Structure 1
Amino acid sequence: MSADQMSVGELLAATVPMVRTLELEFLETTADRAVLRLPDREAHHNHIGGPHAGAMFTLAESASGAVVLAAFGGLLDRAVPLAVTAEIAYRKLAMGEVTATATLGRPVADIVAELDGGGRPEFPVRVTIERADGAVTGEMTIVWTLRPKS
């Protein structure tokens, strides 16, 4: 299967080893939103039996990457998406499986217009991490850029 025929989840699983290591599940990927789930596995637990903070960070970062790839995958021949900064806040105890929902913080058309105008656009992706009962356990903001290829 070529990269053009792969889903966003398949592409990330094929190219990002941590996606495979954590067995992340891609529930939804669109140009506006991505939803990923971290299954409850003992190998991913911390000292209190919930998902390790690093696993939750990777889940959220992967969700942000999925929405970025879904939104800008058609531009990969001329721009490379790169994470610039990431900030995470752990809000409540996470136990069991957790789900991350990522959304773009700027309209796709505005970002593409900035790239087309010769700029290197930056844009936030906001991610909410929730337990199965809907409680928000974490929030993350990742600033991404589209670096034009030389």
Structure 2
Amino acid sequence: MTLDAGALLLQTVPFARTLGVTFDHTEDGRAVCRLADRADLHNHVAGPHAGALFTLAESASGAAMLSALGDQLARAVPLTTGATVQYHKLAKGDVVAEGRLLASREDVLAELDAGKRPEFDVAVEIRNAEDVPVCSFTFTWTLRPNRT
């Protein structure tokens, strides 16, 4: 599969483009993206707003999912069904998110092939410029089969 998952995500999620999310790497159920430090994205304590961090993490999550399952878009729509977040430290400076699919492609496709609506998780960690974790997320995704 030769899908550029980062480019696809930025094409289909305009808000990620608006914030300036960029992708370093997407393949095999993993994605790395970043958000530059910008004053217009800061909160009241001069770090990236939680909404900006969430969007960065969701972008990494979506691209990780697409890098493994993007070839299934003709038969199913990917949707997030939930998310959890833990904030560990105030983020300062540029931040980098790494997303990792926690299910195997084979297991997800087996459920889809069986006519089920698979659910699976993608873990995301965001690190600051010093490579220190500042927050972590788990996104739950589903593939909703297209109606024929």
Please say whether Structure 1 and Structure 2 have the same fold, judged by a TM-score greater than 0.5. yes
Return 5+ residue gaps in structure 1 as ranges: none
The equivalent of 2:29 in structure 1 is 32
Q: TM-score, normalised by structure 2?
A: 0.94
Matches within 5 A, 1:1-150: 7-150=4-147
SS at match of 2:83: strand
Q: Which AA in structure 2 matches 1:107?
A: S
Distance 1:60 1:5 in 2: 23
Are the structure 2 counterparts of residues 85 and 133 from structure 1 closer, same or farther at C-alpha, using a change threshold of 3 Å?
same
Distance 1:58 1:76 in 2: 22
Displacement of 1:134 after TM fit? 1.2
SS at match of 2:124: strand
Q: TM-score, normalised by structure 1?
A: 0.93
Q: Which AA in structure 2 matches 1:132?
A: A
Displacement of 1:43 after TM fit? 1.1
Q: Which AA in structure 1 matches 2:115?
A: G
Q: Percent identity?
A: 51
Please identify, of 133-142 and 8-17, the stretch whose mean Cα deviation from structure 2 is larger. 8-17
Distance 2:10 2:129 in 1: 23
Conserved in 1, the CA contact under 8 Å of 2:85 and 2:135? yes
Task: Give the length in aligned residue pairs.
Answer: 147
Return 5+ residue gaps in structure 2 as ranges: none
Q: CA RMSD in A?
A: 1.4
Q: Which AA in structure 2 matches 1:67?
A: A
Q: Deviations over 1:97-148 (max 9, x none)?
A: 1111010111111111111111111001000010011111000000000111
Poorly superposed stretches of 4+, deviation over 4 Å: none
Q: Which AA in structure 2 matches 1:53?
A: A
Displacement of 1:15 after TM fit? 1.8
Q: Which AA in structure 2 matches 1:146?
A: L
Q: Which AA in structure 2 matches 1:115?
A: L
